[in-house]
Structure 1
């Protein structure tokens, strides 16, 4: 039965009440900011907005990094926008990102307080914490399991999953996108939780992908009005325009299943004597958990389950996206495959697969990993930093609470730094047969900035190196062919999201020779 329509007078009263509350809120914000800027410093340059809503309708919903790059070219590498009173600052160069997010990190390391993120119940993700002791504690706990010195402990898991990946490609190469998801998803599940059951891992991986997509979607400025007008979170679900509330409630259930149920399963397995063959993050944290009568146990358990969930929610998706792009780039550039395979044969021969110990001896493979990270910037914008207090920068007033976003895509496609940046060219990182240290490493922008730099960067680099080297040791990848046998040109097209993932595409993957099959 449909809900009866509201009496007209009641609907008008509710609408008027919401509108008045909104206008009063905007007025208070304007007065407050004026009082905090007694010297009358100008705001940074940017496009002129409309009354009240500002630049709300100018905020790009698709490929925002391209529109922000256009604005940076028009107004300079510091662009100011405002959406319903919310200030936004776009940094269009590495110099600006370093000056503001690195050197002034004490003021620029907070995160947005977004009602939409609270409503989908992802407050457990420490990437959203405000900067302070709690965030440092979470990052320290996470760092224990993902710093450069401990990645080697995961070599057996990575070797097994890479070998399984190569076998799946041999059996059904047309499903390479699915096999890529399995490779990274299963590897991170085993590292985080020790789960070996493919069905369990597949379900958890789906939950992780769902929440990560939701996470980045609701964080996008201008996407959900509730982030700009927080009072909207309190309107009833039947109120016009409040349809987001039902979807957010469903996502909150997925979040609960993802970050609590998975960790509880590990605890139950250990209680029943079921321990995975290889060490896992969750099992180690459970082993070190304080006794039940210890008052610190509750907080310890909370931190443990949260950092494990962050590992699997954020760890797999970015690597999956990067490898999708790598397949595409390699299919478009057979000369890169040939050069990489010559290096592999000269260094390790044809009798085994590469290992992480070979990384320093395979500079061209490392150059491929650097170039795919630059060419396909997996997080072109990333989550905003937020100013913890009012600031003055180069004669401009930067209000407290400003969302500050570095355009990593623009930084990694700067023609003044990278010649012909639109081209996939690993040789840009090489000189005299070795990596050229004078070329800007993409890692300065790929993994974030300042006190918010990604703590999982070493696992990401190591895993992508191992997969790239192993794949090229065994396979070649080619563009697809039409019915006449002609190659179909490929180009990169990405889905509209903050985590940039290539749209599905086809390619042909074939063994280099029948002799290479013995390697897996």
Structure 2
């Protein structure tokens, strides 16, 4: 959508839902879903990837629509998203954005008629899924089951701001599309990193245990968990889910370092190159959360101060992470995503020792161990999740019952 009135109006609606005071209302959902995820991994560790995806997708479905994120719902979402990212994969998509004049070539003369057909079918399937969620959410709002949902707030603004139903369908759908599998992929990369670096995992467990003890982590204060926060930044830097950003376009003529860039030029951000610039990140392919911290040898955690500041804040011209994009179209859900990720990371570290299954090899190489896709992520790995104590296992089961009671209110 080009920058203009409709874009600004939709963006404003998203921002209003993702303000700090609104995110506090989402916290109980994040707490409950992260607890259910840990419980599911405890019960069925071999399919941990599915549990992670279900949990992050469910946070979005419940907070946006007031709809319970069942396995059936999240599996259907995954099917639509996999098809969507498949259409966007390098080599699968015709270069219409790169060579705009190709769109004027008659379809019978182009080598990609199947792509057009596939895209049309996907648009229909995706639109149908979003409309179904919209109608279910609207029904729940009408029945008083989803008064705090994003959709409830959208419906309140409908008449005042002149939104049409189809606009609301896609404004809400954007949150699902952008906020579910992206955070799930980051969580899977976190698990891979912890298994590949047991020293980092152990240090993070010491920090989490120091704050929460035998209690399951709940409200996360990043200031009290600097090493965990550093792990999150390093996960997003080391193996970004989107190594190359989605295409953008210049809105007006520009000159950058002597190069003339006309309006309408397709532009992509090379997130991978930014994150792996050796001048900014020495030994860039090494997973090292310490690079984000200021060292203090007097700290309880060797080499790290509990009140460490993040090095990147010293240079205000740089974003700490480009995993969420940049510019005026930067992801508005960054704060919500970070809260969900930190909470799930803390709970997994508190609950489990994560390690490769006996006799298996772990592949962290981006060329051989990751999926070849626009939204990349680790290939399936055989990982053992060993609960850290019987007391914690019992508490996980107890907390799951409380979480299920919270989530059962969603229709």
TM-score band, normalised by shorter chain = 0.7 to 0.9
2:196 corresponds to = 332
Any idea what the Cα deviations from partners look like across 1:23-76, whole Å, max 9, x if unmatched? xxxxxxxxxxxxxxxxxxxxxxxxxxxxxxxxxxxxxxxxxxxxxxxxxxxxxx
* Counterpart pick for 1:251 among 114, 117, 122: 122
Alignment CA distance shift 1:197-1:447 (3 Å): closer
2:149 corresponds to = 280
- Distance in 2 (CA, whole Å) between partners of 1:304 and 1:474 is 39
Alignment CA distance shift 1:355-1:197 (3 Å): closer
- Distance in 2 (CA, whole Å) between partners of 1:489 and 1:288 is 50
Alignment of 1:302-341 (within 5 A): 302-341=166-205
- Distance in 1 (CA, whole Å) between partners of 2:320 and 2:63 is 23
* Counterpart pick for 1:477 among 332, 354, 371: 354
- Distance in 2 (CA, whole Å) between partners of 1:274 and 1:151 is 20
Q: Secondary structure at the match of 1:392?
A: strand
1:488 corresponds to = 361
- Distance in 1 (CA, whole Å) between partners of 2:284 and 2:114 is 42
1:439 corresponds to = 312
TM-score with structure 2 setting the length:
0.84
1:268 corresponds to = 139
Large movers: runs of 4+ above 4 Å: 238-241
- Distance in 2 (CA, whole Å) between partners of 1:457 and 1:197 is 21
1:402 corresponds to = 265
- Distance in 2 (CA, whole Å) between partners of 1:318 and 1:241 is 28
Q: Secondary structure at the match of 2:20?
A: coil
Question: Which deviates the most, 392-401 or 335-344?
Answer: 392-401
1:314 CA displacement = 1.2
1:404 CA displacement = 1.8
2:36 pairs with 1:159: no
Alignment CA distance shift 1:258-1:347 (3 Å): same
- Distance in 2 (CA, whole Å) between partners of 1:201 and 1:285 is 22
Alignment CA distance shift 1:241-1:463 (3 Å): closer
Unaligned regions of 5+ residues in structure 2, if any? 297-304, 397-411
The answer (yes or no) to whether the contact 1:211–1:255 under 8 Å persists in 2 is no
Alignment CA distance shift 1:255-1:489 (3 Å): closer
The answer (yes or no) to whether the contact 1:208–1:313 under 8 Å persists in 2 is no
The answer (yes or no) to whether the contact 2:57–2:69 under 8 Å persists in 1 is no
Bigger radius of gyration among the two:
1
1:343 corresponds to = 207
How many pairs does the alignment contain? 376
Alignment of 1:164-313 (within 5 A): 164-196=36-68, 198-199=70-71, 201-210=73-82, 212-214=84-86, 216-217=88-89, 220=90, 223-227=93-97, 228=99, 229-232=102-105, 234-235=106-107, 241-271=112-142, 273=143, 275-276=145-146, 279-290=148-159, 297=162, 299-313=163-177
The answer (yes or no) to whether the contact 2:355–2:385 under 8 Å persists in 1 is yes
- Distance in 2 (CA, whole Å) between partners of 1:479 and 1:199 is 26
Alignment CA distance shift 1:366-1:216 (3 Å): same
Q: Secondary structure at the match of 1:397?
A: strand
Q: Secondary structure at the match of 2:82?
A: helix
Q: Secondary structure at the match of 1:446?
A: coil
Any idea what the Cα deviations from partners look like across 1:389-434, whole Å, max 9, x if unmatched? 3322332222332222221111111111112111111111122214
Q: Secondary structure at the match of 2:180?
A: helix
- Cα RMSD (Å) of the superposition? 2.5
2:9 pairs with 1:137: yes
2:335 pairs with 1:458: yes
* Counterpart pick for 1:146 among 18, 21, 30: 18
1:176 CA displacement = 0.7
Alignment of 1:47-196 (within 5 A): 129-196=1-68
- Distance in 1 (CA, whole Å) between partners of 2:121 and 2:2 is 26
Q: Secondary structure at the match of 2:57?
A: helix
* Counterpart pick for 1:362 among 216, 225, 231: 225
- Distance in 1 (CA, whole Å) between partners of 2:273 and 2:111 is 39
Question: Which deviates the most, 144-153 or 326-335?
Answer: 144-153
Question: Which deviates the most, 434-443 or 503-512?
Answer: 434-443
Alignment CA distance shift 1:209-1:421 (3 Å): same
- Distance in 1 (CA, whole Å) between partners of 2:289 and 2:217 is 19
TM-score with structure 1 setting the length:
0.67
Unaligned regions of 5+ residues in structure 1, if any? 1-128
- Distance in 2 (CA, whole Å) between partners of 1:268 and 1:515 is 42
